[in-house]
Amino acid sequence: MSGSANGSVGGRLVVYWAIAGIPLLWGVWQTLSNVIKLFQ
């Protein structure tokens, strides 16, 4: 496997993590915000 192909796979992995991770982080943030409101 050449170095450029390996870099391409790594870049693709970052994109997939961003696509999956951003909504996941948003959901965690919303959940924590709601929990904080409940306990105030």
Whether this prediction's pTM lies above 0.75 is answered by no
Per residue in 1-40, pLDDT tens?
Answer: 455 556 678 889 999 999 999 999 999 999 999 999 998 8
4-17: buried (b, 16+ CB within 10 Å) or exposed (e) per residue? eeeeeeeeeeeeee
Measured between alpha carbons, how far is 36 from 40 in angstroms, rounded to an integer? Answer: 6
Supply the pLDDT for residue 10: 83
Supply the pLDDT for residue 4: 54
Supply the pLDDT for residue 9: 80
